[in-house]
Amino acid sequence: MKIAIYPGTFDPITNGHLDILERAIKLFDKVIITVARNSAKNPMFTEEERLDMIRTAVRRYKKVEVDSFTGLVVDYARRKKATAIVRGLRAISDFEYEMQMALMNRNLNDEVETVFLMPNEKYTYLNSSIVREIAIHKGNVKNFVPPNVYRKLKQKTSSQ
Ligand code: COA
């Protein structure tokens, strides 16, 4: 069984992340989408909120599991018997950071490969902080996130 993990902060999950996930599903028997708990970021949504949003957004995919982790991503991959880490590459600007992480992860554990997937070009400019910012300023993010995330963003930003 070929298992991959798809790690990230997912604050919140966007249609761009789902695009990558759908591509990964075609390549692996199981994909574990997993929220990194030790991110240096200061997230808008709690870990539980992010997990809830992901669970609802990926409910229709049979081969997907939702989880969270602390510590090194390669150690988590080993615990989950995963042979690959899936990452999205949206533009050249992602490349340097992603290559650095991939090579460091390989150095830490040579048995886990990083697999880069490119999202549909309509998502290349999308990221979670842009979505959060638009939502905070009451812009429309309906086309960028799954419906449950859209509702949650509206709720979260209505009092701000
Ligand atoms: N669609 C939309 N947005 C996307 C995207 C896509 N397909 N792919 C990436 N992004 C965006 C995210 O929304 C996020 O945007 P933001 O910064 O505006 O919030 C940004 O790209 C990158 O975020 P993400 O993919 O969530 O990665 P990250 O950099 O937050 O986290 C981890 C990377 C969790 C994988 C990494 O920090 C990690 O492995 N941590 C564990 C500790 C460890 O092992 N460290 C050593 C690594 S060498």
Q: Kindly give the distance from the C-alpha atom of residue 8 to the centroid of ligand 1, in angstroms, as a whole number.
A: 4
Tell me the two tokens of residue 62. 């049979």
Ligand 1 pocket member 123 (CB < 6 A): yes
Instruction: For residue 114, name the pLDDT band (cuts at 50, 70, 90).
Output: very high
Is the pLDDT confidence value at 160 over 70? no
Ligand 1 pocket member 45 (CB < 6 A): no
Distances 109 to 10, 124, 155 between C-alpha atoms, Å = 24, 29, 41
Identify the sign of the CA torsion 121, 118, 34, 107. Answer: negative
The least confident of 58-67, 111-120, 150-159 is 150-159
By the 8 A CB rule, do 2 and 29 touch? Answer: yes
Geometric angle at alpha carbon 123, from 159 and 60, rounded to 5°: 75
Ligand 1 pocket member 16 (CB < 6 A): yes
Instruction: For residue 34, name the pLDDT band (cuts at 50, 70, 90).
Output: very high
Q: 3-158 belongs to which homologous superfamily?
A: HUPs (3.40.50.620)
Distance, in Å, from the CA atom of 108 to the CA atom of 120, rounded to the nearest integer, reads 31
User: Could you tell which of 5, 6, 9, 120 is best to mutate to test the pocket of ligand 1, judged by most ligand atoms within 8 Å of the CB?
Assistant: 9
Q: Kindly give the distance from the C-alpha atom of residue 5 to the centroid of ligand 1, in angstroms, as a whole number.
A: 13
Has 93 been annotated as catalytic?
no
